[in-house]
Amino acid sequence: MKQRASIFYKEHRQWVRLALGFGLFGGLYALFTTLTGIGIPCPLHLLTGLSCPGCGVSRFFLALLRGSVREAVSHNLGVAILLPLWLAVAFVEFWANPKALEEGSPLNRGLVWFSLILMVAFGILRNLPGFSFLLPS
């Protein structure tokens, strides 16, 4: 297993570093938001009053850090659906390294298109009158 991790790191060094950078930035942002109560406002929401597909993502991850899955889902259902899917894909790719998930493969493209379509549909639905339960709480 240690050898597999070493090989994975050598093959995906830039992605590992990018993920670590995002993790560090996210941790600092979580600390700042928790201490000050100040978060990043959504420009689309400020200009139009509409919620974009990403509205509530910061609160989603902060709720997950506190261990509150129900609260996280109430902030952004779209991310709550996609996050486990993409984590499972990353886990399978790390352990099994299947050719089916290589960049440009039909399965990989399908996952990307599914994610894109889901988030666009989620962004539209959450702003319709009968779907206010999809708005960030």
Residue-wise pLDDT for 1-54, tens only, equals 567 667 666 777 887 888 899 899 989 999 999 899 898 889 999 999 999 999
pLDDT, residue 11, reads 72
d(Cα 74, Cα 77) in Å, to the nearest integer?
6
Q: Which residues contact 33 (CB under 8 A, 6 or more apart)?
A: 39, 58, 62
Binned at pLDDT 50, 70 and 90, residue 61 comes out as: very high
d(Cα 50, Cα 16) in Å, to the nearest integer?
35
| Confidence check: pLDDT of 94 > 80 | no
Q: What are 75-93's pLDDT values in tens digits?
A: 999 999 999 998 888 888 7
Name the residue with higher pLDDT: 113 or 92. 113
pLDDT, residue 100, reads 64
pLDDT, residue 75, reads 95
Domain regions of the chain by residue span: 42-55+76-137
| Confidence check: pLDDT of 99 > 80 | no
Residue 106 DSSP SS3: helix
pLDDT, residue 91, reads 80
